[in-house]
């Protein structure tokens, strides 16, 4: 589609297109013009000297189809800005798949790297790949707490707690599992002798009860356990990343009161403190008692034992991460989903950003993004500060300003994911496990 720009002529009062001016007026005009040019020069040169335009130069808004990798496709949002028929909410909502005119589910999954903006090309590189590593018939064993352990080149993750297809929650705890990245790479290259990678169950000791969130911490792994029933409280556990996988409970109460069901955990790279979200999915999935605290985000200082609340006002605070410099915190609010209690499509499916102060407190809450495909669950940043979230159709990617620039389209719910060093990512699809290779790398580990 081409757009023709119109032109117009503004005539002077004498109709000639010129307007007479006095010397004083001309002098004033020249002085004003000189000042404006000076200000403009400063406004341009200073950002250039600071390198602020480097990204814009490297990422033009126009996308050259000739530079697209074979596994990528351009998504032109103008093609669905206006639809001939827009169905009512009962037919089109956060849980339905959006297929606009001219595309099919097969066409979207055939080339899974969806380019919404040219910036995404720098993230995926020239030869991105997406490989299916393993499947489960219906047990959602590929769910959350995705953690890369560099010394062993393994990726840990957990089964869904409280899902009827898993049989976990109140009757039995969900389990921690792991895979070998060497096997993932071999399967991608076609040299693996099996049809899928081996899934190994990790027997933590004492057991982490209903683990859900996870993060690296000083060579070990912190898991957020949701708890079980009334007698086993929700807690943060520190686990050795190698056998015998011994664990230590870090915190399991707020001044004598049980948490609702801890969901995710992240370490701020600037102050080293541990932050975690507490929500009520354990209650919504029938394996935790009725909540006794509001859903909120906590900060824990393991050196002093200090435990404080840094943010509230959420419906269901879920995923949590920090920018690489630790200056910003990102929290997903998945209030749209009440698990086994159903959905409320008027509630948040949002990402909020906060400024992290020098003293570790949070200020200046801002709506960073709202997702159209179900909800944003797990969330992480790459080394450049771009923001990734696991959503209803794959991993969505925003730049630091909150602009959607691309998707890694799995076609199914991607509850969580994690970078595994430079150019590697493991994605949880509940009953499917994916391995992506791309140009971007994850933020440095804590």
Domain membership flag for residue 231:
no
Compute the average pLDDT of residues 328-347. 97
Domain membership flag for residue 35:
no
β-partners of residue 387 are: 381, 398
pLDDT of residue 13 exceeding 70, the answer is: no
Q: Which of 10-19, 267-276, 296-305 has the lowest mean pLDDT?
A: 10-19
Give the C-alpha separation, 7 to 10, whole Å. 10
Asked if 350 and 367 touch (Cβ cutoff 8 Å), the reply is yes
The total number of structural domains that make up the chain: 1
pLDDT at 245: 99
Domain membership flag for residue 331:
yes
Domain membership flag for residue 43:
no
pLDDT of residue 424 exceeding 70, the answer is: yes
Its domain, for residue 253, covers 72-153+178-197+249-441
β-partners of residue 311 are: 297
Domain membership flag for residue 314:
yes
pLDDT at 360: 98
Give the C-alpha separation, 226 to 209, whole Å. 7
β-partners of residue 322 are: 329
pLDDT at 63: 82
* pLDDT single digits (tens) 196-209: 999 999 999 999 99
Domain membership flag for residue 218:
no
- Tokens standing for residue 59: 């990422």
* pLDDT single digits (tens) 122-149: 999 999 999 999 999 999 999 999 999 9
Here the CATH number for the domain that contains residue 104 is: 2.120.10.30
Compute the average pLDDT of residues 408-425. 98
Asked if 432 and 142 touch (Cβ cutoff 8 Å), the reply is yes
pLDDT at 120: 98
Query: Is the pLDDT higher at 97 or at 30?
Result: 97
Least Cα distance to 182 among 404, 438, 420, 359 occurs for 420
Give the C-alpha separation, 432 to 132, whole Å. 7
Asked if 331 and 279 touch (Cβ cutoff 8 Å), the reply is no
Least Cα distance to 332 among 280, 283, 297, 383 occurs for 297
Q: What share of the chain is helix, strand, coil (3-state, %, to 5)?
A: 15, 35, 50
Work out the number of other CB atoms within 10 angstroms of the CB of residue 107.
11
Average pLDDT value for the chain: 90
Domain membership flag for residue 291:
yes
* pLDDT single digits (tens) 43-59: 434 343 333 334 433 44
Domain membership flag for residue 42:
no
Give the C-alpha separation, 85 to 82, whole Å. 9
């Amino acid at each position: 589609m081409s757009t023709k720009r119109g032109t117009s002529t503004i005539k002077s009062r004498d109709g000639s297109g010129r307007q007479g001016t006095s010397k004083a007026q001309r002098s004033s005009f020249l002085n004003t013009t000189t000042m404006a040019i000076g200000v403009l020069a400063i406004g341009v040169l200073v950002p250039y000297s600071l390198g602020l335009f480097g990204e814009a130069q490297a990422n033009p808004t126009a996308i050259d189809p000739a530079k697209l990798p074979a596994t990528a496709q351009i998504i032109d949002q103008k093609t669905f800005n206006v639809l001939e028929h827009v169905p009512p909410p009962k037919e089109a909502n956060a849980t339905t798949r959006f297929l606009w005119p001219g595309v099919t589910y097969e066409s979207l999954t055939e080339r899974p790297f969806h380019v919404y903006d040219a910036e995404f090309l720098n993230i995926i590189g020239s030869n991105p790949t997406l490989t299916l590593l393993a499947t489960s018939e219906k047990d959602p064993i590929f769910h959350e707490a995705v953690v890369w352990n560099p010394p062993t080149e393994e990726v840990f993750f957990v089964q869904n707690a409280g899902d009827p297809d898993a049989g976990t929650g109140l009757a039995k705890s969900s389990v921690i599992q792991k895979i070998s990245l060497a096997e993932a790479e071999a399967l991608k290259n076609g040299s693996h002798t099996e049809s899928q990678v081996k899934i190994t169950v990790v027997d933590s000791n004492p057991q982490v009860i209903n683990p859900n969130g996870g993060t690296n911490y000083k060579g070990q792994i912190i898991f957020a356990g949701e708890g079980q029933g009334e007698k086993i409280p929700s807690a943060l556990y520190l686990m050795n990343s190698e056998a015998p996988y011994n664990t230590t409970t870090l915190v399991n109460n707020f001044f004598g009161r049980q948490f609702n069901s801890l969901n995710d955990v992240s370490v701020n790279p600037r102050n080293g403190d541990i932050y975690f979200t507490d929500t009520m999915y354990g209650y919504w999935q029938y394996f935790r008692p009725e909540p006794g605290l509001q859903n909120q985000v906590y900060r824990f200082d393991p050196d002093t034992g200090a435990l404080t609340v840094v943010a509230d006002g959420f419906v269901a605070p879920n995923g949590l991460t920090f920018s690489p410099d630790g200056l910003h915190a990102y929290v997903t609010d998945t209030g749209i989903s009440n698990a086994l209690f159903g959905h409320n499509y008027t509630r948040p499916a949002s990402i909020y950003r906060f400024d992290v102060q020098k003293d570790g407190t949070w200020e200046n809450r801002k709506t960073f993004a709202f997702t159209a495909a179900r909800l944003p669950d797990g969330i992480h940043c790459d080394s450049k500060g771009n923001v990734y979230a696991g959503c209803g159709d794959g991993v969505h990617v925003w730049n630091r300003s909150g602009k959607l620039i691309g998707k890694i389209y799995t076609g199914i719910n991607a509850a969580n994911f994690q970078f595994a060093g430079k150019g590697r990512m493991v994605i949880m699809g509940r009953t499917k496990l994916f391995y992506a290779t791309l140009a971007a790398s994850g933020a440095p580990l804590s």
